[in-house]
């Protein structure tokens, strides 16, 4: 995935907690930025369901890197892609 594409997907997640629609289901999604925005923690859970996602994102000199937490990257990317553009 292109680093710019990943940045755009991360930017779809508002800072703090928000209620989002993901594939027709309600999700609670949280983004917390650290180190002046050079890293972000993103977590999400389907409200009233079993869906979960969690990842850290690092913005380094070599680009933006997605590090999912104990799940496939595609699981995180599916949720991020379903969010409306910022």
Asked whether the predicted pLDDT for residue 3 surpasses 70, the reply is: no
For residue 81, the SS3 value is helix
Instruction: Identify the helix (H) or strand (E) that includes residue 8.
Output: helix 3-11
pLDDT in tens, 13-50: 999 999 999 999 999 999 999 999 999 999 999 999 99
Residue 86 confidence (pLDDT)? 74
pTM of the model: 0.89
Q: How far apart are CA 58 and CA 40, in angstroms?
A: 7
Distances (CA, A) of 34 to 15, 29, 40, 73: 11, 17, 6, 21
Give the confidence band of 4 by pLDDT, cuts at 50, 70, 90: low
């Amino acid at each position: 995935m292109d680093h710019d594409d990943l940045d755009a997907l991360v930017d779809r997640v508002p800072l703090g907690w928000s209620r989002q629609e993901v594939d027709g289901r309600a999700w609670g999604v949280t983004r917390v930025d650290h180190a002046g925005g050079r890293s972000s923690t993103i977590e999400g859970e389907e409200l009233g369901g079993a869906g979960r996602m969690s990842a850290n994102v690092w913005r380094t000199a070599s680009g933006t890197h997605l590090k999912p937490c104990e799940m496939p990257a595609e699981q995180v990317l599916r949720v991020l892609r379903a969010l409306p553009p910022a």
